[in-house]
Chain A
């Protein structure tokens, strides 16, 4: 680890799916001599890229979990976290950007700014992470880096400036022209190892000069010296880079590099850009809240002698216990140190400390300020702050988005159930966007996550890592039963065949009660039902609410009034009147127009305006009622009310309808009567289910 913090860079690589993040990271590791062979993400050799160490990642050719590594370039130490592109694994991007100092936003030169590009950009904004953009895949047919730069400006609002122009494109992509140094760079050798610098070809020189002028114009906003030099036509490379750096550190400027990681072109200049333009840990302002001082904000210092402040941002439960990834913001974290977990207040002794290289680890003695490492044997949660004894500072945790999709999960047998439980506990601990609960009403175990792929991966991991065979399905909807009109009841419960008998008569009426689950009113006069048996009547009625007579759904919105009855001196008892109440309920309920109610959700869809029609159509198809539509320029917000029963799988549908650019939220709104056709179907299904059980 470097002693000079000025020579450290902590960067994340983030982008939309398949933009080339992992391939880029693989090339970075190769050119920095961290690895000696390049393997492809979806390679025929089946080895997979270094950072995709999970079997599932290699098989599917996708990154599922973020992976950390480090390398050295031009005497700078670069700590890298490669992140997934699927929105399902967004928590990995969230946690990585929380602890990193800068990021590379990778964009496909054909696809440009895509849905997850927008999301990761928002995440970078959230944590104020400076970024440089890398327009990748310039060897692809249809590549157009300047179109991508335009999209960066228009769709993401970046003040994007190109640092290079391509020499050839698509199959003719040969190299890049550096418009700061005004030199052409070519990547020779089988793996692009050998850099050849020459003059910029005449054919692209006018374009290079034009782009250089634009670059100087943009950068001069951050440097008076540059502005003066530009007027005098005496701009130097150092002056220009210094101004670009100033703009980049404040997120006011986004330098753009060009290349093709797969074709081994453009990576080394990108590494130069990272070392020259990205901040070191001491240049990034990190804040903590002082719990001893009304949670006032405190700026942390990267001074190694200051008290330790560190943030745990990722957990992995493995065979050696819990591995906690941690970023040290102030002071040092050394083996043998005692620190305090601010959330729990518990003292923790630091045992084994490691530095990660994908799934491999290297033992280290300490993690200095500005570095990321991992520790073993500490029980904590993601987002926990660790501090030296004597101070009570806490760092804000990462933002955790709410899950959008749920599935019911059923283990195959008892053995699977135990394994499934262990697996679910572990996954929940490691991934705050993966949630598990048991429905109090239906008894289903429900797993929730960020998308179908998210849940699919966990189900597969349950099978592979825990041998737990499970099946999944749509969660059961919590229907309700209620009545629509008043009906009278007059029920006698009588069992008097000899010996101790039972007798009770209960009379009154049942009627709908708006805004209440159950109301019981006693209007019995003259002691026709003795006072001591009134509570038993109420108990009997309440018992009936748990499973309605119609479909065995819970009954709500009922008011029961008892106004008459009869008792027997010997045979009346609490049990008798409970039974009488139950009979009275069934009698009245059947005449009171019972109906089934279903939960209606308030569904709010935020979508680009061009997909408004499709989004509205998709809601309408789900028996949704569109309530409103609010135009907000490029986006619009549609509010609707949709039955929960129709919302299963909606996130996938919405993504495919809107190219992944729309999002939706869902919350409970009210209960409404189920349409006749649906009610009949439910009755049919319930009858079939009963038949199967019998």
Chain B
């Protein structure tokens, strides 16, 4: 009897995973990043970097994968609200009636950690992670780091994080804030990512173009083609959508 209920949920989860527009970035059946891999979501302030990260997280949560969401910018309550809102929008979009039950089912796979930006360091994160893994409390497969400043000191932190990610077989997504006045480097890579681009397997940028916010692959994603139509961020739902469907 319980199996029947679980089967329904599994079917529901599979459908949501299948419908996830991130699939359209060319990674159908596996994670976008390999273990130890780094991904970056770049954009100016307020364009939706955290929303993208949360959608990436929800995709993993639906696949029963543990996600550790680290925020250096927002308190726990705010991060939690992001998840609730994005999940609600997804549920509305796909007419899911058992939203609450599905939410309860995926919640155990998520852990939010917040740090003060001034006191955050990789050794500190490693200590916290060890607390979780050594006692088998939580073994994350995906790590999200939201709000890490990509300044001149970031290279050392990222190098240390790369080692940490490989050791724990996690892949890591970062938000990277860009600025209007910054010049672009070769391959149109924004300045904050230039010196550390080789550490990243995937990077994509949110670019406002007229009234739309385009999701552009800078590295590791598919090029624009008929097989991979452009992706947009819907500002009303903060969800990624397929421009082809939109049209």
Contacts and interface: CB of A to CB of B under 8 A. Distances in A.
A633 B111 contact: no
A639 B2 contact: no
Given A626-B111, A628-B80, A630-B114, A484 B5 contact: yes
A628 B5 contact: no
A633 B116 CA distance: 7
Interface stretch (A60-68, A426-434, A613-621): A613-621
Interface string B209-222: 00000000000000
Contact of A613 (B2, B80, B135): B135
A625 B107 contact: yes
Interface string A429-450: 0000000000000000000000
A612 B137 contact: no
Interface in A410-431: none
B113 A629 contact: yes
A629 B100 contact: no
A485 B111 contact: no
B137 A616 contact: yes
B223 to A, nearest CB: 39
Contacts of A672: 104
Interface residues of B, number: 30
A617 B137 contact: yes
A620 B137 contact: yes
Given A617-B137, A625-B108, A631 B114 contact: yes
A620 B135 contact: yes
Nearest to B104: A672
A485 to B, nearest CB: 6
Interface in A620-655: 620, 625-633, 637, 639
A473 interface: no
B100 A617 contact: no
B244 interface: no
Contact of B138 (A485, A626, A637): A626
A484 B135 contact: no
A570 interface: no
Contacts of B80: 628
B184 interface: no
Interface residues of A, number: 23
A639 B134 CA distance: 19
Contacts of B134: 613
Given A484-B1, A612-B128, A628 B112 contact: yes
B75 A627 contact: no
A628 B76 contact: yes
A514 interface: yes
Contacts of A637: 76
Contact of B2 (A484, A616, A630, A631): A484
B119 A617 contact: no
A142 interface: no
B116 A632 contact: yes
B122 interface: no
Contacts of A628: 76, 79-80, 111-114
Given A485-B5, A639-B76, A629 B111 contact: yes
Contact of B131 (A612, A630, A632): A612
A593 B2 contact: yes
B137 A626 contact: yes
B44 to A, nearest CB: 27
B1 A630 contact: no
A632 B114 CA distance: 9
Contacts of A616: 131-132, 135, 137
A485 B3 CA distance: 11
A625 B104 CA distance: 12
B111 A613 contact: no
A631 B121 CA distance: 12
A631 B127 CA distance: 13
B4 interface: yes
A637 B136 CA distance: 20
B9 interface: no
Nearest to A611: B131
A484 B98 CA distance: 13
B75 A630 contact: yes
B13 to A, nearest CB: 18
A612 B80 CA distance: 21
Contacts of B128: 612, 629
Nearest to B137: A620
A631 B137 contact: no
B115 interface: yes
Contacts of B101: 514
Given A628-B112, A629-B111, A630-B113, 4 more contacts: A620-B137, A628-B79, A629-B114, A630-B114
Interface of A: 484-485, 514-515, 593, 595, 612-613, 616-617, 620, 625-633, 637, 639, 672
12 contacts: A595-B2, A612-B128, A613-B130, A616-B131, A616-B135, A617-B137, A626-B138, A628-B76, A628-B79, A629-B76, A629-B114, A637-B76
Q: Closest 6 interchain pairs by CB? A: A613-B131, A593-B1, A628-B112, A628-B76, A631-B115, A620-B137
